[in-house]
Amino acid sequence: MKNKGIRNGIHRTNRQLFLAAGLCLIFLMIGVTTAFNAKKDVTVYVNGNTVAELSSKGNQEIINARLSDRIYDVLTEEGLPTGDDYEIDVDLNKQIKDVDEINIKKKAEGVISVDGVSTLFKSAANTVEDVIKENELEVKTDDIVEPALTTALTTDIQEVKITRVTYGEEKGEGEIPFETENQETSSMAKGVEKVITEGVNGKEAFTDKITYHDGVEFSRERIETQVIEEPVKKVVEVGTNVGNVGNGGDGGSPYGNEEGGVPTGRSFIANCTAYTHTGNPTASGVMPVAGVTVAADPSVFPLGTRIYIPYFNNTFIVQDTGGAVKGNVIDIFMDTYDECVQFGRRDLEAYVVD
């Protein structure tokens, strides 16, 4: 009897153990199933040109997936990009439970042009500077980079250009342009000009700083000059005499008789000189007047003869004579000694006005 009771107790204990084990297994299966089917929200950010499924928030998509799902499978099911054209900041083989956020960035594609070589790039770098460094290219201090180094690298950028900037110096010689000085004189008709001193360019030595872009001259700046020869100023006499008709003419043509503005009197080449005040009246008894009085050889040009000289645009009257005034010499009265010296002796076209 005693042995039978012991056997019954052991039997009950085994049933209880099996029952407990079964319940544990059931709860374990329920837990595993629950854990397997549990879900969470993961935020996915996509930069650049994104897929059509993205929400109205622009570049953000919130997905709800099971914790056990593989990230690659979830992104593919959601129609989000996973190819080589995009950079993804998580391991696609991990499970959703391992992440809260996924960043997907479309790679920019283009070329970097420098030193005559085009280097293709496909990069998700943040800036232009970053993509240049990725390709192990050097940018020197004065080089020009377009777009600028700090520009964000987006899919809109298809070319990055690096222009090499170098400098050089060039020495040489050049001309210094002469200046022109105009000197007014009443001994010449208004509008008439005569060069007294020809201008001559000077000479200088110089040093230029030259800027080169990719080996081609882009600009130059003169940084040093040294005068070798000074320029000679050009001096020009400019007439101011508005013209008169000798002996108080009527303001008509200075030529006297004319046809179409051409003088009809006898023409000759006058050997012209100049004289000024002596304090004495002229041979005709009147005091000399600038712009009117000239002295001439009375055997050739009697007193009262009217002579037009185009150089002065003026008609003079022979009112005086002189011992040295012979033949075609015409001695023109001027107001000042300086004007006489400046005028000197000149052969000028002249007309005897009829």
Domain ranges of the chain: 39-106, 108-163, 167-237, 243-352
Q: At the top level of CATH, which class does the domain 167-237 belong to? A: mainly beta
Among 144-158, 263-277, 305-319, the least confident range: 263-277
**Residue 115 in 3-state DSSP?**
coil
**Which residue(s) pair with 183 in the sheet?**
237
**Residues 60, 80: contact at Cβ < 8 Å?**
no
Average pLDDT, integer, range 278-293: 92
> Is cis: bond before 147, omega within 30 of 0?
yes
39-106 shares its CATH topology with 243-352: no
pLDDT band at residue 75 using 50, 70 and 90 as cut-offs: confident
pLDDT tens string 193-211: 788 899 999 999 999 999 9
pLDDT band at residue 254 using 50, 70 and 90 as cut-offs: very low
What average pLDDT does the structure give for the chain? 83
Which are the contacts of 267, defined by CB distance < 8 A and separation ≥ 6? 349, 350, 351, 352
Of residues 97 and 136, more confidently modeled: 136
Instruction: Give percent above pLDDT 70 in the chain.
Output: 77
pLDDT tens string 156-199: 999 999 999 999 999 999 999 999 999 988 766 666 678 889 99
Angle ∠(218,141,129) on CA atoms, nearest 5: 110
Distance CA 353, CA 307 (A): 6
Residue 50: predicted pLDDT: 44
Length reported for the chain = 354
Is it true that domain 39-106 has CATH number 3.40.50?
no
Beta-strand ranges (E) seen in 58-158 are 60-66, 86-88, 101-106, 108-114, 117-123, 144-146
Match 């009197």 to its residue by tokens. 265
Q: At the top level of CATH, which class does the domain 243-352 belong to? A: mainly beta
Q: Which two tokens stand for residue 202?
A: 């000077």
Average pLDDT, integer, range 144-156: 95
Residue 174: predicted pLDDT: 94
Give the pTM. Answer: 0.51
Residue 271: predicted pLDDT: 95
Instruction: Give percent above pLDDT 90 in the chain.
Output: 54
Average pLDDT, integer, range 68-75: 86
